[in-house]
Structure 1
Amino acid sequence: MHDDHAAELEQYREYLGLLGRLQLDDMLAGKVDVSGVVQLTLLEAGQAGWDELAETNRVPWLRQIFANNLLDEIRKFRTQARDVDRELSIHQAMEQSASRVNEWLVASQSSPSNQAMRHERELRLAKALSCLPAAQREAIELHHLKGLPLEEIGKRLNRNKGAVAAFIYRGTTRLRELLSSSSEID
């Protein structure tokens, strides 16, 4: 992989990690190494013709490779035979997660929504989320991107509903600051 391809692909690391975390249920979250799957995906993408793809096709193609690699990793922890429905649904869920990320961004920021700008916003959000304290990041991902109610998030984080609401409020406030100031997350 060329150094320029590696640098270009590296910008997708946090984004893919976010999508991966959104796909895993509680049982798999502690077992599947999402960062390892992201690393493998970036390596494969660099070797498989990244520069030959049109700009608008790159992100969907990268999500497809990532979904396939994530499924392979999940299969290692499944004891039953291949679950074809699960495999189909993870590809659909990956696209839905990307859509939810974009919808949340559009709802919280008004800006033109062509494909290139949408992908850039998604990457910036993923990078900004990675700058937050873990509890704030997880609360925001579970609430805004997975759609879980505060009580459910509280159970997962072993916190009360008020603490979860505070995590989300502080995290969202910090995200807005990070997203409005490009120098802090670039």
Structure 2
Amino acid sequence: MASQMIPIALILSLSLSLLPSSLAVVICEELPLDLCAFSISTAGHRCILESYRAKDGGEQTKNQCKTSDVVVERVSDWIETDECVRACGVDRTAKGISSDALLDSQFTGKLCSSTCHESCPNIVDLYFNLAAAEGVFLPDLCHARRSSPHRSMVELLSSGAASGPVAAASAIADEVAPPPSA
């Protein structure tokens, strides 16, 4: 009888470990530092890794996991897998993210890979929104990356997200110039 209890207990504990994370409560401030970045709290806020100076006045900085103000639609209780972190080329130890990463061809290669794009919706959503804030549509960037990696960088740089003085002067001239006569 005792020998039958071991397989049942093993099956029960294995099945409980495979339950979705929605049954867990994710509080950013309680996450271990190596799981903080790319996680989403129960309340739907992104968790971020931040540095702070120790209260003792020393030079040493320490890291902490904090709840950001960014709310993620339709996702909560999410701790990104190590497989997705590797597949998408992101770094859990980085403090903050930047759209500059989208200019790195190695990074966009991983981010746009089918492994990342099809299996890691949280990371893709994060960079989709980051790209959109720069005036870039991530699916277009990934398509351009697949068809011509060097051209995709040119398209990103010329997306208009960071228009220079010539573009600004042209836009002003267009606004004040009288319409052409018909």
TM-score class, shorter-chain normalisation, is under 0.3
Higher relative CO (CA 8 A, sep ≥ 6), structure 1 or 2? 1
TM score, norm. by length of structure 1: 0.25
Q: Which has the higher strand share?
A: 2
Q: Which structure has the highest helix share of the two? A: 1
Q: Based on CA coordinates, which of the two structures has the bigger radius of gyration?
A: 2
**TM-score, structure 2 as length reference:** 0.25
